[in-house]
Copies of this chain bind each other. A is one copy, B any other.
Amino acid sequence: MPKRSNMGPPWWHGRFQGRGYRITVPREAILDVLNRTSKHLSAEDIYLEVHKIYPHIGLTTIYRTLELLVHIGLVFKFDFGDGRARFELSEGPKGIRHHHHLVCTNCGRVIDYTDFIDDEIELLGRTEKGLSKKFNFKITNHLIQFYGLCDGCRDKK
């Protein structure tokens, strides 16, 4: 089902060329699954989805591909505390969409939010600068997650 609305190679092809990485069917299938969801899928989730169309693709390949995609920066890997890694495309055709997460500790639901991001970015910039100076630490990344009870869970407790 990997059908794109307009012709031309998908926007991510450039990330593979020139680095010795090959564009393969499994890789396209995995990127396609990630590209078409807004959920935070586990390796097995992705495997099951890919399996519907390419039953011969194995779970091992899913893991290996995800590792590669994280390595080249196309995918983010998260740990929301349920014992399995979760993956999310780091950018879309329209560029990076920076956001943080709200994690429900009761049902595991994960909510993306971009509100307040500007204030956060502002603070993060200051903090990163200060920490870099104080600890001589070169910051490349940050992780911000809020935990609590989601809309559906807060009453039932």
Contact = CB atoms under 8 A, between A and B. Distances in A.
Contacts of A150: 135-137
Nearest to A145: B143
A148 to B, nearest CB: 4
Contacts of A19: none
Contacts of A151: 135-137
Interface stretch (A35-43, A50-58, A89-97, A125-133): A125-133
> Quick one: copies of this chain in the complex?
2
A115 B143 contact: no
Interface string A115-146: 11001100100111011001111111111111
Given A115-B134, A137-B148, A139-B147, 16 more contacts: A79-B79, A79-B81, A105-B141, A113-B131, A113-B135, A115-B131, A116-B123, A119-B123, A123-B123, A127-B146, A135-B150, A135-B151, A138-B148, A139-B148, A140-B149, A141-B147
